[in-house]
Amino acid sequence: MAIRPYLVVALAVWLTWGAFVGLHASGLPNHVVAGGVLGPGNDMRPGPTNPANAAGIVFYSINQPTFSLLVGADTFTPATGTEPAVFAKDVGVDWNWTAGDNVFGVVETTRGTNGWTDVNYTMSLSASLRVGVTVQDIGDGTLEAFPTIVRTFGTDYVRIQWGALVSLNVTSYHVWTADSPAGPWVSLTTVTQGAAPSHNDTALPAGPHCYTVGVNYRRDLAGSVYETTGRSEPVCATLTGAVPTILSTDPANGASNVAVNVPIVVTFSEAIDTATLLWTVNPSITLVPGWSAGNTVLTFSHGTDFTQCTVYTVTITRARDPEANDLGPGAPNPWTFTSFCLSPYIVSTSPVKMSRMVRMIMSLSS
């Protein structure tokens, strides 16, 4: 690849720096890589509003993972308006490389570094090292903003999705979670590269849930990754939690011959705010509520027995969890049961009432 004019300038700056620290120019043909960094949309504006001018870079080798990670360029020249920002790095100072070895650069513009205060950006460059050139041009790259996360959520889940980056050798995304945009952040999962990466975080408790994404670049041929220091802008959702439901009742709906002195037991799917409980029973009987199992089991006791041979209908008219979620669908509510009958009573007839010209058959309870 021909050396572009602005890389000649970068080389001159590098030579000045190299002479200052005592490096030998004779080593340059085998050691120096250089390239350009453009802002979004190929931005080459000078000044602090172009993220290319605040970029940092790390170098490593994908096919030689034992080569040390090199942080920072030896020289970095901001964009001029007609040329991109330019970096140069003598990788041969630390790497005992041979022709054909890979050099891979991950570029980042990170909030809080080099005076940058906006969102984070990244890109990558790659080349095979070769001899016989003064400065090896490994090309230009255009910064991409870190993925913008779009989230949808329900009572107990958050689903996040984002657009995939097109930077070279992005293999996956590291999802982090916290209960506040300020962190502390905890590793959640890794999502492989694809057209529309996403993750569904389920069975979550009520409260705030925040997410951010780091970008994983290929680190070696065995599948290891290098994760960016910067991450996407965090997004959060405040969940109200799953709605409570009635899991079971005792007596169950439709039960018969229920002992007249047994309590009524209602089991909920989660703890209930006991102050929110309201109920009705028909025919009326005085019920006294009691709670157990972390306010998930409600027991109605009654000092007066059920009236024999009577169909009772019980309704929980209100029950809310501590997050103020109202009772949702579950076991039958209202539900009915029939109290014990000492004397026999008719359970059913066949044919039913008002049938004509048929033989009458009665089924009696014992």
**Given a cut of 80, is residue 361 above it in pLDDT?**
no
**Given a cut of 90, is residue 248 above it in pLDDT?**
yes
pLDDT at residue 344, rounded to an integer: 62
pTM: 0.71
Cis peptide before 351 (omega within 30 of 0): yes
Q: Tell me the pLDDT of the chain averaged across its residues.
A: 89
Model confidence at 31, pLDDT cuts 50, 70, 90, reads confident
CA distances 214 to 43, 157, 232, 314, Å, are: 24, 21, 7, 54
**Distance from chain centroid for Cα 62:** 29
Identify which has the larger pLDDT, 53 or 8.
Answer: 53
**Distance from chain centroid for Cα 84:** 36
Residue with tokens 């490593």: 60
pLDDT per residue over 33-72, tens digit each?
Answer: 999 999 999 999 999 999 999 999 999 999 999 999 999 9
**What is the rounded distance in angstroms from the CA atom of residue 15 to the CA atom of residue 135?**
11
Strands 255-258 and 335-339: parallel
Sign of the torsion formed by the C-alpha atoms of 112, 116, 117 and 118: negative
Q: Residues 108-119: what's their mean pLDDT? A: 97
First to last CA, the chain: 101
pLDDT at residue 117, rounded to an integer: 97
Give the CA count within 13 Å in the CB-facing half-sphere of 76.
Answer: 15
Based on its alpha-carbon atoms, the radius of gyration of the chain, rounded to whole angstroms, reads 36
pLDDT at residue 273, rounded to an integer: 96
Sign of the torsion formed by the C-alpha atoms of 140, 105, 124 and 111: negative
**Given a cut of 90, is residue 313 above it in pLDDT?**
yes
**What is the rounded distance in angstroms from the CA atom of residue 273 to the CA atom of residue 206?**
15
**What is the rounded distance in angstroms from the CA atom of residue 213 to the CA atom of residue 161?**
10
pLDDT at residue 26, rounded to an integer: 36
Residue type (1 letter), 37: V
pLDDT per residue over 83-106, tens digit each?
Answer: 999 999 999 989 999 999 999 999
**Given a cut of 80, is residue 356 above it in pLDDT?**
no
Domain ranges of the chain: 5-144, 146-239, 246-348
pLDDT at residue 366, rounded to an integer: 43
Lowest mean pLDDT among 18-22, 136-140, 349-353: 18-22
On whether the CB atoms of residues 41 and 93 are closer than 8 A, the answer is no
Q: Residues 333-356: what's their mean pLDDT? A: 78
**Given a cut of 90, is residue 10 above it in pLDDT?**
no
pLDDT per residue over 275-304, tens digit each?
Answer: 999 999 999 999 999 999 999 999 999 999
**Percentage of the chain lying above the pLDDT 70 cut:** 86
Domains 5-144 and 246-348 share a fold: yes
Identify which has the larger pLDDT, 356 or 316.
Answer: 316
Q: Residues 191-202: what's their mean pLDDT? A: 96
On whether the CB atoms of residues 178 and 210 are closer than 8 A, the answer is yes
pLDDT at residue 12, rounded to an integer: 52
Of the candidates 15, 97, 86, the one whose C-alpha atom is nearest the C-alpha of residue 60 is 97
**What is the rounded distance in angstroms from the CA atom of residue 58 to the CA atom of residue 162?**
25
| Pair of tokens at residue 63 | 């096919």
CATH architecture of the domain formed by 146-239: Sandwich (2.60)
CATH architecture of the domain formed by 5-144: Sandwich (2.60)
Sign of the torsion formed by the C-alpha atoms of 273, 276, 281 and 287: positive
Of the candidates 338, 346, 347, the one whose C-alpha atom is nearest the C-alpha of residue 307 is 338
* E strand or H helix that includes residue 28: helix 28-31
* Residue range 246-348, CATH number: 2.60.40.1220
Q: Which residues contact 293 (CB under 8 A, 6 or more apart)?
A: none
Q: Residues 165-170: what's their mean pLDDT? A: 96
Lowest mean pLDDT among 4-8, 146-150, 160-164: 4-8
Q: Which residues contact 253 (CB under 8 A, 6 or more apart)?
A: 331, 332, 335, 336, 337
CA distances 6 to 2, 35, 85, 133, 135, Å, are: 12, 9, 9, 16, 12
42 DSSP assignment: T
